C-alpha cells in the first residue's frame, strides 16, 4: 500500500475507533485530523493552521443560513404550524382508508419547506399526529413507521440543512441544489402516499378510515393553514425565482413564522426563548462537526489520497455507474450506523473527487449537483434503516409502548419505494437537473 493511502487509512481507523468509544464526532475528527496533520508537518505549522482555520471557516457569510433555517423550523414547531398542516390534510382525506397516514406524509412535506431538519420534523409530527393515529385504531408499528419516514421529508424537501452543508463542503451553489432537490422530494412524497394507498387496499384493517369532518371544520382548517403555505411559497419560491438568496430567504422565513405565531397567539415569549436556545445548541453541534471535518480534510489533503484514489479509479476503466453504485451502497450502510451530517463530512473528501472525475455525460457542475441529490436520498434512507435509523429512535422515544422492531417493520414498505426512487434518480439525472437547467 502506498504511504499516502496508509496514512489516510490509519486516520480513518483512528477516527472510527474514537467514534466507537462514543467520543463526539466533531471532537474525534478534530483530534485525528490534528494528529494526522502533525505527523506530516511540524508543530509550528499545525498551530498556525489551527489559529486561522476557525476564523476563516466561521466568518463565511453563507454559514449563517444554517442557524436561520434551524430557527425557522424551531419557531414553526412551537407555533403550532405543524399541527395546523396535519389538521388541514386530515380534514381533506382523513375519512378515507389510510387517509390519516397520507395526511401525515403530506403535512411533513409542507412542513419540510419551512423546517429543513429531519429529526425536528419527526419529533414534531410524533407529538402532533401519533395520538390521533392511535385513537382511530391505526396499527402501532405502521403509525410510528409512517411518522419516521415522513420525517425524512424535512431534509428531502428544500430548504435542507444537509444540502447547505454539502454546498459549503463542495463549494456548490446552494440555490441550485435546492432547485435540484424539489422533484426528487416531491417524488418521495408521492411514492410514500402510493405505498400507503396500496397497503390500505390490501390490508384495510391496519389503517381504518377516520370520521368525516363537517364542512365548517374543513373550511376553518383550510384558513388556518394558509399562512404556513404562504411562508413555504415565499421561502422556496423566492430562492427559485432569484428574488432572495438562500440566506435572505431563511431570514424572511424566520420573521414570517415569528409574526404568524405571534399574531395568532400560539407562540409565547417563553416558546421563542426555547426556540432560540434549541437553535443555539443545534448550531453549535453542527459547527463543531464542521470544524472537525475541516481539520480532518486538511490532513487528507496533505496525504493526497483523495486525488490519487480518483486517478487510480479512472485508470481502471470501470463503468462510471458501477463506481457510483458502490459509493451509494457505502452511504446506505454508513447511514444506518452513523449520524448523517458526520457521515457526509467524513466521506465527501474521498467520494466527491472520485465522482466528479467520472464521465456521466454531464458537466462537472451538473455532476456535483446530481451527486448531492443522490447523497441526500441515501441519507434519507439511512435515517429509517436498521439498526440505527435515527428517525426510528426519535419516534420510538415518543411511543415507548411500541417495540422498536415493530416500527422497523412499519418502515419496510416505504424503504422499498425509497430504493425504487434512488434507482430512478441514478438512471435519470434529469429528474434532479431539469429544474436547475430551466431556471438557470
Report the phi/psi class of residue 318: left, alpha or beta, with left for phi > 0 and alpha for psi in -120 to 50.
Answer: beta
In SS3 terms, 235-291 reads as HHHHHHCCCCCHHHHHHHHHHHHHHHHHHHCCCCHHHHHHHHHHHHHHHHHHHHHHH
Peptide bond into 159 cis (omega under 30): yes
Phi first, then psi, for residue 353 (nearest 5°) are -60, -35
Handedness of CA 164, 169, 170, 171 (dihedral sign): positive
pLDDT score recorded for residue 383: 86
Residues 6+ apart with CB under 8 A from 200: 96, 97, 98, 101, 206, 207
pLDDT score recorded for residue 2: 63
Residues 6+ apart with CB under 8 A from 108: 121, 125, 147, 150, 151, 153, 154
What pLDDT tens digit does each residue of the chain (440 aa) get?
566 677 878 888 888 888 878 888 888 889 988 888 888 888 888 888 888 888 888 887 778 888 888 898 888 888 888 888 888 888 887 778 888 889 999 989 988 888 878 888 888 888 888 888 888 888 888 899 999 999 999 888 888 888 988 998 888 988 899 999 999 999 999 999 999 999 988 888 888 777 777 778 788 888 888 888 888 888 888 888 888 888 888 899 899 989 988 888 888 889 999 999 988 988 888 888 888 888 888 888 888 777 777 777 777 778 889 889 988 988 887 776 777 788 888 888 888 988 988 888 889 899 999 999 999 999 888 888 887 778 888 888 888 888 888 889 989 999 999 999 999 999 999 999 998 888 77
pLDDT score recorded for residue 369: 95
Handedness of CA 418, 366, 237, 278 (dihedral sign): positive
pLDDT score recorded for residue 18: 86
Write the DSSP assignment of 35-66 as a string of letters: HHHHHHS-HHHHHHHHHHHHHHHHT-GGGGHH
d(CA 230, CA 374): 29
Place of cell 435546492: 178
pLDDT score recorded for residue 420: 94
Q: Are 300 and 8 in contact (CB under 8 A)?
A: yes
Phi first, then psi, for residue 276 (nearest 5°) are -65, -40
pLDDT score recorded for residue 168: 86
Q: Per 3-state DSSP, what percentage of the chain is helix, strand, and coil (rounded to 5)?
A: 80, 0, 20
Residue 130, all three cell numbers: 401519533
d(CA 42, CA 65): 36
Indicate the angle between helix axes 305-316 and 269-303, nearest 10 degrees. 70
**pTM attached to this predicted model:** 0.87
Amino acid at each position: 500500500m502506498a504511504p499516502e493511502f496508509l496514512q489516510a487509512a490509519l486516520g480513518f481507523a483512528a477516527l472510527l475507533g474514537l467514534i466507537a468509544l462514543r467520543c463526539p464526532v466533531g471532537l474525534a475528527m478534530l483530534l485525528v485530523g490534528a494528529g494526522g496533520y502533525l505527523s506530516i508537518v511540524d508543530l509550528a505549522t499545525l498551530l498556525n493552521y489551527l489559529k486561522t482555520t476557525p476564523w476563516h471557516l466561521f466568518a463565511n457569510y453563507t454559514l449563517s443560513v444554517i442557524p436561520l433555517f434551524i430557527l425557522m423550523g424551531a419557531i414553526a414547531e412551537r407555533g403550532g404550524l405543524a399541527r395546523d398542516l396535519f389538521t388541514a390534510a386530515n380534514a381533506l382525506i382523513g375519512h378515507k382508508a389510510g387517509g390519516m397516514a397520507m395526511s401525515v406524509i403530506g403535512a411533513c412535506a409542507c412542513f419540510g419547506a419551512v423546517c429543513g431538519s429531519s429529526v425536528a420534523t419527526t419529533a414534531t409530527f410524533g407529538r402532533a399526529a401519533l395520538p390521533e393515529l392511535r385513537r382511530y385504531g391505526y396499527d402501532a408499528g405502521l403509525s410510528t413507521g409512517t411518522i419516521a419516514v415522513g420525517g425524512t421529508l424535512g431534509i428531502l424537501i428544500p430548504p435542507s440543512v444537509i444540502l447547505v452543508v454539502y454546498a459549503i463542503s463542495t463549494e456548490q451553489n446552494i440555490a441550485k441544489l435546492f432547485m435540484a432537490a424539489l422533484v426528487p422530494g416531491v417524488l418521495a412524497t408521492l411514492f410514500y402516499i402510493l405505498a400507503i394507498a396500496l397497503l390500505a387496499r390490501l390490508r384495510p384493517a391496519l389503517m381504518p378510515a377516520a370520521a368525516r369532518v363537517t364542512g365548517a371544520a374543513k373550511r376553518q382548517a383550510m384558513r388556518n393553514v394558509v399562512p404556513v403555505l404562504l411562508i413555504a411559497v415565499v421561502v422556496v419560491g423566492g430562492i427559485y425565482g432569484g428574488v432572495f438568496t438562500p440566506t435572505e430567504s431563511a431570514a424572511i422565513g424566520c420573521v414570517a413564522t415569528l409574526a404568524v405565531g405571534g399574531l395568532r397567539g400560539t407562540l409565547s415569549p417563553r416558546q421563542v426563548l426555547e426556540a432560540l436556545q434549541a437553535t443555539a445548541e443545534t448550531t453549535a453541534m453542527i459547527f463543531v462537526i464542521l470544524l472537525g471535518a475541516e481539520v480532518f480534510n486538511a490532513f487528507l489533503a496533505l496525504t493526497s489520497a483523495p486525488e490519487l484514489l480518483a486517478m487510480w479509479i479512472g485508470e481502471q476503466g470501470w463503468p462510471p455507474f458501477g463506481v457510483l453504485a458502490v459509493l451509494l451502497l457505502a452511504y446506505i450502510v454508513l447511514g444506518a450506523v452513523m449520524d448523517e451530517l458526520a457521515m457526509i463530512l467524513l466521506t465527501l473528501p474521498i467520494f466527491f473527487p472520485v465522482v466528479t472525475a467520472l464521465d456521466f455525460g454531464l458537466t462537472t457542475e451538473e455532476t456535483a449537483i446530481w451527486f448531492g441529490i443522490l447523497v441526500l436520498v441515501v441519507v434519507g434512507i439511512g435515517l429509517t434503516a436498521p439498526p440505527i435509523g435515527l428517525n426510528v429512535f426519535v419516534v420510538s422515544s415518543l411511543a415507548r409502548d411500541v417495540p422498536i422492531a415493530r416500527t422497523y417493520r412499519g418502515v419496510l414498505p416505504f424503504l422499498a419505494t425509497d430504493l425504487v426512487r434512488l434507482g430512478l434518480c441514478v438512471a435519470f439525472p434529469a429528474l434532479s437537473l431539469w429544474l436547475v437547467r430551466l431556471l438557470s
